[in-house]
């Protein structure tokens, strides 16, 4: 087992990474206050893992809430349904919620935990690569609104994150690829050596080599934990984790949540950010080509939707959470392994790279 800690003073918590979890009960128990546990999952994940979760929690009073599967269900309506379920079950404020699933389940469960009775404990058990390397770590919780992605939420840290690498064998190939976009992101924004490791080990990753995947997941979690420990509520350096997301969120919103997976949109967004960085003289054409080729090795798209133009990007970008004083801010790679936040990108620059 690999383990690391997100250091946030009294809000610090462990991340456990295992290749098959035989001791889930012993990992969960230290982080559960009372016998009351509510597992929130979805219609795809719960049937796969319910038996093992039930065995691990056999000494607890466990209830299950099963939501629909998909980004389009990360809404206030689902949030309200979970809240109603908790109230109907008459759980108390020492209940522990367990988010069992991907990023959608983790985000919405965390937001429920942050607001039910003004805050109850929750534990993340992420089952997709995207959630294991990114969304389960750092305490960002939210639901989507028709006018913007993740615009309603809270910073609220879990008590623990428990990752089983073997759960990735249950993923559809498209979901695995979507998670790899976030993996590539970490190499581009903060670790050139890791980017080169991904280039050298792409085939092992795609074949689900457990040793390689364990290293990749641990590395991403450590990189994110280091950033979150410096800037829990995204007042500075944490914004760098949004590399590719300003473009990507616009694609997701314009195409309809769920039609493009988050990682697919982010992959295109990173190519667009790299292309913009090249236009500014920061990246070489070879750098951009390496980014494109690595994303292609992971079966990710590298071109935006044909039906989107500058206007369709801008209408969503202007609602981005990084907008300050009506100025859209972008995360751009200064080099492979280093990114910066910029606020002086003109519409002319955007038009040129979107063409």
Nearest residue to 45 via CA among 101, 98, 97: 101
Q: What is the pTM assigned to this prediction?
A: 0.93
User: Which DSSP state fits 260?
Assistant: B
d(CA 81, CA 353): 42
pLDDT for 321 beyond 80: no
Residue 118, number of CB atoms within 10 A of its CB: 7
The structural domains of the chain, with segments of one domain joined by +, span: 2-170, 173-354
d(CA 148, CA 316): 7
When pLDDT is averaged across residues 288-298 and rounded to a whole number, the result is 98
Give the model confidence (pLDDT) of 79-97 as tens digits.
Answer: 999 999 999 999 999 999 9
Residue 71, number of CB atoms within 10 A of its CB: 20
For domain 173-354, the CATH architecture is Up-down Bundle (1.20)
In the chain, the largest separation of any two C-alpha atoms, in whole Å, equals 62
Q: What is the pLDDT of residue 121?
A: 98
d(CA 330, CA 338): 14
Highest mean pLDDT out of 256-265, 293-302, 344-353: 293-302
Give the model confidence (pLDDT) of 195-223 as tens digits.
Answer: 999 999 999 999 999 999 999 999 999 99
Instruction: State the chain's mean pLDDT as an integer.
Output: 95
Active centre residues (catalytic): 118, 140, 182, 224, 234, 238, 242, 245, 249, 262
End-to-end, the C-alpha distance of the chain in Å comes to: 47
For residue 277, give Cα distances in angstroms to 142, 230, 237, 335. Answer: 30, 26, 19, 8
Full DSSP string of 161-210? EEEEGGGGGGS-HHHHHHHHHHHHHHHHHH-HHHHHHHHHHHHHHHTT-H
Beta bridge partners of 236: none
Q: Can you list the pairs that 201-208 forms with residues at least 24 positions away whose Cβ atoms lie under 8 Å?
A: 202/294, 202/297, 202/298, 203/297, 205/180, 205/298, 206/176, 206/297, 206/298, 206/299, 208/168, 208/169, 208/176
Contacts of 168 (CB under 8 A, 6+ apart): 128, 129, 132, 176, 208, 213
- Asked whether the beta carbons of 18 and 165 are under 8 A apart, the reply is yes
Q: Does domain 2-170 have CATH number 3.40.50.1970?
A: yes
Give the model confidence (pLDDT) of 222-276 as tens digits.
Answer: 999 999 999 999 888 999 999 999 999 999 999 988 899 999 999 999 999 999 9
């Amino acid at each position: 087992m690999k383990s690391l800690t997100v250091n946030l003073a009294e809000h610090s918590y462990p991340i456990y990474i295992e290749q098959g979890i035989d001791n889930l009960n012993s990992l969960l128990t230290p982080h559960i206050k009372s016998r009351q546990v509510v597992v929130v999952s979805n219609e795809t994940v719960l049937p796969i893992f319910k038996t093992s979760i039930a065995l691990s929690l056999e000494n607890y009073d466990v209830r299950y809430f099963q939501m629909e599967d998909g980004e389009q269900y990360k809404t206030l309506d689902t949030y309200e349904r979970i809240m109603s379920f908790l109230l109907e079950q008459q759980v108390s404020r020492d209940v522990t919620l367990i988010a069992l699933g991907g990023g959608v389940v983790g985000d919405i469960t965390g937001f429920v935990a942050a607001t039910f009775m003004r805050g109850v404990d929750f534990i993340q058990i992420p089952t997709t690569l995207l959630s294991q390397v990114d969304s389960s770590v750092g305490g960002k919780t939210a639901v989507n609104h028709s006018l913007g992605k993740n615009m309603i939420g809270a910073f609220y840290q879990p008590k623990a994150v428990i990752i089983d690498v073997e759960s990735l064998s249950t993923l559809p190939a498209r979901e695995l690829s979507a998670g790899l976009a976030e993996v590539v992101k970490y190499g581009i924004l903060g670790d050139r050596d890791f980017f080169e490791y991904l280039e050298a080990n792409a085939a092992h990753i795609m074949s689900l080599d457990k040793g390689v995947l364990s290293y990749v997941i641990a590395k991403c979690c450590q990189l994110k934990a280091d950033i979150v420990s410096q800037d829990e509520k995204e007042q500075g350096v944490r914004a760098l984790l949004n590399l590719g997301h300003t473009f990507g969120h616009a694609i997701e919103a314009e195409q309809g949540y769920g039609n493009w997976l988050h990682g697919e949109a982010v992959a295109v967004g990173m190519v667009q950010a790299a292309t913009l960085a090249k236009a500014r003289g920061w990246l070489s054409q070879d750098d951009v080509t390496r980014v494109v080729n690595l994303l292609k090795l992971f079966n990710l798209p590298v071109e935006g939707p044909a039906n989107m133009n500058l206007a369709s990007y801008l209408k969503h970008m202007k609602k981005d959470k990084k907008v300050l004083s009506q100025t859209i801010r972008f995360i751009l790679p200064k080099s492979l392994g280093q990114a910066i936040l910029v606020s002086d990108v003109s519409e002319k620059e955007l038009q040129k790279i979107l063409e």
